[in-house]
C-alpha cells in the first residue's frame, strides 16, 4: 500500500530514517555485551555489501511493483527469498541439505501455490 502512496525512493528514505533511529540502540547493546571490541574488517566489508545489495533490491522491487500489472505475482516471487538463499548457501558455501530444510522448502512452495490460486 505504501508504494501506491509514495515513490519507492521515498520509501527508502523512510526506511533509512527508521534505521537511523535504531542505530543508537544497536550501539548501546553492542557496548553492553562487550561485542564491540575488535571488528573483522572483511566481515564489515561483507556487511556493507549485503546492506547495499538489499537497498538496491528494494528499490528495484519498488519500481517493478509500481509498474507491474500483477503485483501479487511479483510479491510472491520476492517472498521466495529464503528459497534462493538456501540454494546459494548450498551452491557456494557447501551447506548441507537436511530433511528439515527440504520439508521447509516444500511447505514454502505449497504456500506459494496456495497464495496464487
Answer yes or no: is pLDDT of 89 > 80.
yes
Map grid coordinates 509500481 to a residue. 66
Please classify residue 8 by burial: count the beta carbons closer than 10 Å to its beta carbon, then call 0-12 exposed, 13-18 middle and 19+ buried: middle
pLDDT value of position 100: 92
Answer yes or no: is pLDDT of 36 > 60.
no
pLDDT value of position 23: 79
pLDDT value of position 30: 74
Which pLDDT band holds residue 38 (cuts at 50, 70, 90)? low
Question: Which contiguous run of DSSP H or E holds residue 104?
Answer: helix 99-116
Average confidence score pLDDT of the chain = 78
Answer yes or no: is pLDDT of 4 > 80.
no
Amino acid at each position: 500500500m505504501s508504494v501506491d502512496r509514495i515513490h519507492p525512493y521515498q520509501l527508502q528514505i523512510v526506511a533509512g530514517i527508521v534505521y537511523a533511529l535504531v542505530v543508537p540502540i544497536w550501539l548501546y547493546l553492542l557496548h553492553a555485551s562487550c561485542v564491540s571490541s575488535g571488528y573483522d574488517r572483511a566481515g564489515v566489508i561483507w556487511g556493507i555489501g549485503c546492506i547495499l545489495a538489499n537497498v538496491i533490491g528494494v528499490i528495484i522491487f519498488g519500481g517493478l511493483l509500481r509498474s507491474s500489472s500483477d503485483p501479487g505475482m511479483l510479491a510472491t516471487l520476492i517472498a521466495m527469498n529464503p528459497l534462493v538463499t538456501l540454494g546459494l548457501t548450498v551452491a557456494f558455501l557447501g551447506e548441507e541439505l537436511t530433511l528439515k530444510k527440504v520439508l521447509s522448502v516444500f511447505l514454502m512452495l505449497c504456500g506459494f501455490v496456495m497464495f496464487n490460486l
